[in-house]
Amino acid sequence: MNVTELLDLPYVEEDLGRFEALLAEAVRVGDPFLDEVTTHLISAGGKRLRPALLLASATCGASPASDETLQGAAAVELVHLASLYHDDVMDEAVLRRNVESVNSRWGNLIAIVAGDFLLARSAEIAASLGPEVASLLAATLGHLCQGQISEVQTAFQPNRSEDAYLATIAGKTAALTSAACRIGALTASLDRTKVDALTDFGRHFGMVFQIRDDIMDVIGSPEHLGKPAGQDLAEGIYTLPVLRALSDPVVGPELRTILGRPLEQPEREKAREMVGSSGAIESTIAVGRRYSALAADAVASLQVPALTKGLSTIVASLLEDLPIIT
């Protein structure tokens, strides 16, 4: 996904370049070891999706972003990066963005404390942007934690409900994309109607984004994912495509006998094939399209044609270019 190409908004790409330098500087304290750990995933790159959404929401691409908006983008991205540090510890991951994960390279303790440091820096930056932004980001962090705890609680449960799944991704993913769009709008002092519309867009966008990610865990390749495929399946995180496959009368009964416990590689691949061969992927894409339509509706009222088009294009693209590789 090329975020700037899909948004097709002037200045966003230039602003992301300015943001990149600011992001790296925000976590450097002059300690060579800590600086190496905290910039590890920053140096590995990434789509910078949340900062791009924030910048687009603030400026519509019509003018360069303000310093406050760039600081807001850094605060949001640091929360995201911290969540990756912590997630990789929980998942015992060895790869992230096609590089060695922080926990694999330096150990769990360093990864956890470094993630905490990134959260602290995010909070410090948010506080400088005023109480509304600081309060919003703190509440968002709470939603992320709630979503993660909910996911852990339902691990290895084939009877996990779809409502529980949707509540989890609303917390662990959609809350932060929603906050990104809202912070962009707040730092640009947009009127409250636009602030709320962009907030709604970000929430629906996040739902689509996570649904796509969960589809990719089943049908994607390690090269596309930047991590092993089927990782959620192996760890008992049963996402919407898996839940839909479990209800399939053909593959569901056999799949249920495989799940409910950690999976070794052969079982993981068999489960992936079973989910992929059912109608679960198409069914899950249909759910994603409903959220995509809600996202497009949210920005239709903005009366900013370039921004409406860019945001609608990027959310629609999430479900249009799935590389189905089994």
Q: At what angle do helices 280-300 and 265-277 cross, to 10 degrees?
A: 70
State pTM to two decimals. 0.93
> Containing H/E element for 230?
none
The CA distance from 133 to 117, in Å, is: 19
Is residue 213 pLDDT above 90, yes or no?
A: yes
Per this entry, what is the length of the chain? 326
CB 242 within 8 A of CB 219: no
Is the pLDDT at 323 greater than 70? The verdict is no
pLDDT of 325 higher than 50: no
Q: What is the mean pLDDT of residues 31-58?
A: 92
Indicate the Cα dihedral angle 61, 52, 125, 32, nearest 10°. -130
- DSSP 3-state assignment of 117? helix
One-letter amino acid at 232 equals: D
100 phi and psi angles, rounded to 5 deg: -60, 135
Give the per-residue pLDDT at 98. 66
Q: Is the pLDDT of residue 226 over 70?
A: no
Give the whole-number percent of the chain exceeding pLDDT 70: 97
Q: What is the mean pLDDT of residues 250-276?
A: 94
Q: Which residues pair with 99 in a beta bridge?
A: 96
Domain positions in the chain are 3-317
Containing 2, the helix (H) or strand (E) segment is: none
DSSP letters for 5-49: HHH--TTHHHHHHHHHHHHHHHT--S-HHHHHHHTHHHHT----H
Beta strands in the chain, from DSSP E residues, in sequence order? 95-96, 99-100
Give tens-digit pLDDT for 156-173: 999 999 999 999 999 999
Residues 6 or more apart from 13 whose CB is under 8 A from it?
A: 4
Whether the CB-CB separation of 284 and 247 falls below 8 Å is answered with: no
pLDDT of residue 228: 72
Helix (H/G/I), strand (E/B), else coil: 99: strand
Given the structure tokens 């959404």, which residue do they identify? 53
Q: How confident is the model at residue 95 (pLDDT cuts 50, 70, 90)?
A: confident
What number is the average pLDDT over the span 85-114?
A: 87
Q: Which fold has domain 3-317?
A: Farnesyl Diphosphate Synthase (1.10.600)
Rounded average pLDDT over 29-42: 92
Residues 82/23, Cβ–Cβ less than 8 Å: no
Question: Is a pLDDT exceeding 50 seen at residue 30?
Answer: yes
Phi, psi of 259 (to 5 degrees): -80, 175
C-beta contacts of 241-244 below 8 A and 24+ residues apart: 241/214, 241/215, 241/275, 241/280, 241/281, 241/283, 241/284, 242/218, 242/271, 242/275, 242/280, 243/160, 243/161, 243/162, 243/165, 244/278, 244/279, 244/280, 244/283, 244/284
The pLDDT value recorded for residue 326 is 36
Q: Mean per-residue pLDDT for 85-113?
A: 86
Let me know if 161 is exposed, middle or buried by CB neighbors in 10 A (0-12, 13-18, 19+).
exposed
Question: pLDDT tens for residues 5-19?
Answer: 999 999 999 999 999
Question: Which DSSP state fits 171?
Answer: I
Measure the CA angle with vertex 84, ends 186 and 94; round to 5°: 160
From residue 42, alpha-carbon distances to 32, 118, 161, 326 in Å are 15, 11, 36, 30
* Residue 114 pLDDT: 94
What average pLDDT does the structure give for the chain? 93
